[in-house]
Structure 1
Amino acid sequence: MTVYEAIQRRRSYRHLENVEITDEIIDKLSRAVQLSPSCFNNQPWRYVFVRDPEKLKALYEVYSKGNEWTHDGSLVIAVTTRKEDDCVVGSREYYQFDTGLSVGQLLLQATELGLTAHPIAGFSPKKTRKVLHIPEDYEVITLIIVGKKAVGSPEEPAMPRKELKEIIFQDTFL
């Protein structure tokens, strides 16, 4: 699979089935994160991989109403970062940008492995911090729910994308 094919195939499915999360899978996802670019190679992100069934159940309390589908995930990845661990150039704080780059690489690696990796915003960072013992000074950016697309689940078409002319400019912004 080429990088472009992975980009085209990546989807955030909500109908998941259980899949065995091996050490090899975690290693490949971790290495994709490790190789991500960051300002001065600071790598400000910290990831918590959760696959223990009891810990996954403990995370049920952190999800917002309507995110019950997350209970079918086989792995949850908490993505955290701190401003002081990365570059601040004038008013530009790179920690969230760099962490986002690392998430993107993880999503593509998951796609290549035949997995669905769905980042969510519908969760409580405070509760997540408590369940996973994440220090207060780390910002919980997202939780990524990982599994396999459920066989026979309704087809979830790709969300419509904006036209290129709406988001890409040449030589000047307008």
Structure 2
Amino acid sequence: MELLEAISTRRSVRKYAEKEVADEMIDKIIRAAMTAPSAGNQQPWHFIITRDREKMNKVSGFHPYASMLKNASVAIVVCGAPNGKKWPDFWPQDCSAASQNMLLSARDLGLGTVWVGVYPLEDRMEGMRKLFGIPDDIYPFAIVPVGWPEAEFKAMDRYNSSLIHSESW
């Protein structure tokens, strides 16, 4: 698949077919995430991969927008680890770049995903910490359900020229 096709057809998928995603595909998605740019190449991220249905179902108990986890094949929790980094304040941008790489690589593989934000909401971060045993100095950033989409991907043009400014506002 061409890169621009993957970008233009990527969608937030919330309904998944009952079909497992191979471990090799998840490995490719994680490898793509780890190629993301980061401030000073500090790579302040960690990833939790879970297929634990019980844990995935529990997320919607503290996250109101995570119900799609109940039918995803797998979920990837993206976490930030800024402590001890030269540029600790840039970890959200770094984890955002890694998350976007995950979404695009999954699309390239024919898989569906949706970015379910966790950070900076304390109740969501605390719920993730308790459920997945995440240490207090690590920030749960997002959870990305992954699965085979029920619907087809279609390109969408979201270009809006009113949002582009030449040299000044």
**Smaller-chain TM-score range?**
0.7 to 0.9
Report matched runs for 1:3-152 at 5 Å: 3-64=3-64, 67-84=66-83, 86-88=85-87, 93-121=89-117, 124-151=124-151
TM superposition shift of 1:113 = 0.8
Say whether the 8 Å CA contact 1:86–1:95 is kept in structure 2.
Answer: no
Post-superposition offset of 1:145: 1.2
Q: Distance in 1 between matches of 2:151 and 2:136?
A: 40
Whole-angstrom CA distance in 2 between matches of 1:105 and 1:157? 18
- 3-state SS of the aligned residue for 1:61? coil
State, as a whole percentage, how many aligned pairs show the same letter: 27
Query: Any stretches of 5+ residues in structure 1 without a counterpart?
Result: none
Root-mean-square deviation (Å)? 2.6
Shift of 1:86: 4.0
Kindly provide the CA deviation profile for residues 15-45 of structure 1, in whole angstroms up to 9, marking residues without a partner as x. 2223312220121011101211112211101
Q: Call closer, same or farther: CA 1:165–1:76 in 2, change over 3 Å.
A: same
Partner of 1:165: 162
TM-score, with structure 1 as normaliser = 0.81
Q: CA deviation at 1:150?
A: 1.4
Deviation at 1:164, TM superposition (A): 3.0
Q: How many residues end up aligned between the 2 structures?
A: 165
AA partner of residue 102 (structure 2): L
Q: TM-score, normalised by structure 2?
A: 0.83
Higher strand share: 1
Displacement, 1:71? 0.8
Q: Distance in 2 between matches of 1:2 and 1:156?
A: 14
